[in-house]
Amino acid sequence: MKVNFLTSRMTEKLLLLAILAMMPLPAPAESSQSLAEIRRVAEQFALTRIDSSGLSEISASAATMDARLRLKQCDQPLEAFATSNSRNRSRSTVGVRCTGLNPWTLYVPVTISALAEALYTARPLLRGELLDSSAVEVRRMPLDKLPPNSLSDTENLASLEAVRPLRAGVPLTLNAVRARQVVRQGQEVVIQANTAGIQVKMTGKALKSGSYGELIPVRNNNSGRIIEAAVSNEGLVTVNL
């Protein structure tokens, strides 16, 4: 009996195709969340949190993440959130999370780059000296080099004074200045007492220095009584009876 080898091979191929057709297809590989997208969301959120007053050339850069990190593709838009109440303008950590079927959360360090304005002393200042435009100079510097608690606003200089002697070329910070003291400790002042629409004035002595609106103790020269009075102007304090 003669065997047709060509027919036999075709039969084998058909059987192989039939077997393959009955086998389950391999499951598709699960897609991973784009790390670039996570970084973008973190950067955009960090920029919305920053106080941009006095800043220019602002940009945000999220830390590079390990390329081996595999997070399931989120089926919902990614959400960003603050991880603290800190308003550090140069560095922060932003939380990015997926709230979909396969939830996950990631914490991303973000650095803000910008140029900031800061006030420096243009000349030596004495303790108690009032500030003006001749006393300061504006410098621009990278945000991460900005001195802590530095001042940048030149509009309210006239209401400030130095709390201690300052050299030229040092940053003006919140602890280096204070509101102008319009009444000095030991100064003779006029006490204006307001009661039922009537004003009564008398003299007294300030027992503490004070700025506009501040409550200070004052001794009435006539009675010797010590009262709390609000600084209203230079040499004038008021009290409501």
For residue 167, pLDDT over 80 is answered with yes
Structural domain boundaries, residue 236: 188-240
Final residue belonging to a domain, choices 73, 93, 114: 114
- Closest Cα partner for 204 from 187, 184, 180? 187
The pLDDT tens digits for 198-220 are 888 999 999 999 988 899 999 99
pLDDT at 196 over 80: no
Calpha distance 173→180 (Å, rounded): 15
pLDDT per position as a tens digit, 16-45: 555 555 555 454 456 889 999 999 999 999
Does the pLDDT value for residue 69 go beyond 50? yes
**DSSP E strand boundaries for 89-208:** 91-98, 104-121, 136-142, 160-162, 177-179, 188-195, 198-206
**What is the residue-averaged pLDDT of the chain?**
86
pTM for the model stands at 0.61
Residue 2 lies in a domain: no
Q: Which of 79, 97, 114 is the last residue of a domain?
A: 114
pLDDT reported for residue 22: 59
Q: What are the b/e assignments for 220-230, b being 16+ CB within 10 Å?
A: beeeeeebebb
Whether 18 is covered by a domain: the verdict is no
pLDDT tier, 152 (very low <50, low <70, confident <90, very high otherwise) = confident
Please tell me whether residues 53 and 110 are part of one structural domain: yes
Domain with 169 in it: what CATH number? 3.90.1210.10
Count up the domains in the chain and report the number.
3
Calculate Rg over the CA atoms of the chain.
36
One domain for residues 109 and 130: no
What residues pair up with 112 in beta bridges, in sequence order?
60
Q: Which of 114, 134, 168 is the last residue of a domain?
A: 114
**What local confidence, expressed as pLDDT, does residue 3 receive?**
47
